[in-house]
Amino acid sequence: MNALPDAEGLYQTLLAGVKPLMRDHTRLVGVTSGGAWLVERLQKDLGRPAAPGVISSAMHRDDFARRGMAASAQTQLPFDVDGSDVLLLDDVLYTGRTIRAVLNELFDFGRPACVRLAVMVDRGGRQLPVAADFAAAHLTLPDTQLLALARGDDGSLRFHVEEVR
């Protein structure tokens, strides 16, 4: 891959794309860690009064035995999940396995009325039937590369590519 996507530019596209998905009582929930960073900014930029949620896929991953517990934040849902309208946010959608694990975690807390998904980048390569309601960008990478979002000390976002073994 020659040029990495501009994460700050894609955030602005995500912000514009999420607005039509919002309803009066929509609760934003970010998937740790990149999605949690996005939700933190979106909550402020959308002027949402209620605190956003953060959700971890760690306990429901199908590769838990190999990966173990990640050092990322644990699930915090400061609202009643039963009957709620949830908009999940993540940085990169790839195989769909993280979203499957996140949905299992979410349903451990209750039964939402509706769950939708918005992502900064959809890189294809799905292994499960998962689709985003909104993706700020679509891009293709080799299976040997992982696209990861990073956050600077000033809160700025940037992408980097990691080689996977």
* Nearest Cα to Cα of residue 106 among 78, 127, 85, 77: 77
Q: Rounded to an integer, what distance in angstroms lies between the CA atom of residue 132 and that of residue 145?
A: 21
DSSP assignment of 100-152? HHHHHHHHHS---SEEEEEEEEE----SSS---SEEEEE----TTEEEEEEE-
From first to last of the 165 residues of the chain, give the pLDDT tens digit.
568 899 999 999 999 999 999 999 999 999 998 999 999 999 999 999 989 999 999 888 666 545 455 555 799 999 999 999 999 999 999 999 999 999 999 999 999 999 999 999 999 999 999 999 999 999 999 999 999 999 999 999 999 999 987
Beta bridge partner(s), residue 76: 54
- Asked if omega into 33 is within 30° of 0 (cis), the reply is yes
- 25-62+72-139 folds as Rossmann fold (3.40.50)
What is the number of other CB atoms lying within 10 angstroms of the CB of residue 114?
11
